[in-house]
């Protein structure tokens, strides 16, 4: 098991996702954000569950999918993984957007 750390950027991404969806439905916004959060919890038990992010090609930077969202995380060590960003799958991901 690893400790899962949500970075400032990842929590900001979640807030933006919620706010965008909430314009039409607060209920659906809550459901979507909860699904993303719950999917990220899978990383705690198995940090290697996600695939290597193809655009980055670094074995430590991985992603799991929740609906239309990519949960991008970095394995820091055997005890910690950091959620870096939450991206809509239609958006392109660049290495400089992870910091």
Q: How many domains does the chain have?
A: 1
Domain CATH code at residue 14: 3.30.2310.20
What is the per-residue burial (b if ≥16 Cβ within 10 Å, else e) of 48-64?
eebeebeebeeeebbbb
Q: Is the pLDDT of residue 96 over 70?
A: no
DSSP per position, 13-70: HHHHHHHHHHTT-HHHHHHHHHHHHHHHTHHHH-TT-SEEPTTT--TTEEEEEETTEE
Task: Determine, yes or no, domain membership for 63.
Answer: yes
Summarised one tens digit per residue, pLDDT across range 77-90 is: 999 999 999 998 87
Q: Is the pLDDT of residue 99 over 70?
A: no
Banded pLDDT at 93 (limits 50, 70, 90): confident
Task: Determine, yes or no, domain membership for 49.
Answer: yes
User: What domain range is 68 assigned to?
Assistant: 3-92
Task: Determine, yes or no, domain membership for 97.
Answer: no
Can you tell me the distance from the alpha carbon of 85 to that of 24, in angstroms, rounded to the nearest whole number?
Answer: 23
Summarised one tens digit per residue, pLDDT across range 19-61 is: 999 999 999 999 999 999 999 999 999 999 999 998 888 999 9
């Amino acid at each position: 098991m690893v400790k899962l750390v949500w970075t400032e950027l990842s929590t900001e991404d979640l807030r933006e996702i919620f706010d965008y969806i909430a314009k039409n439905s607060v209920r659906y916004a809550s459901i979507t954000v909860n699904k993303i959060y719950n999917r990220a919890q899978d990383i705690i038990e198995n940090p290697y569950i996600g695939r290597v992010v193809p655009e980055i090609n670094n074995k430590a930077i991985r992603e799991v999918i929740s609906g239309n969202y990519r949960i991008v995380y970095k394995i820091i060590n055997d005890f910690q993984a950091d959620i870096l960003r939450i991206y809509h799958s239609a958006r392109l991901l660049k290495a400089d957007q992870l910091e």
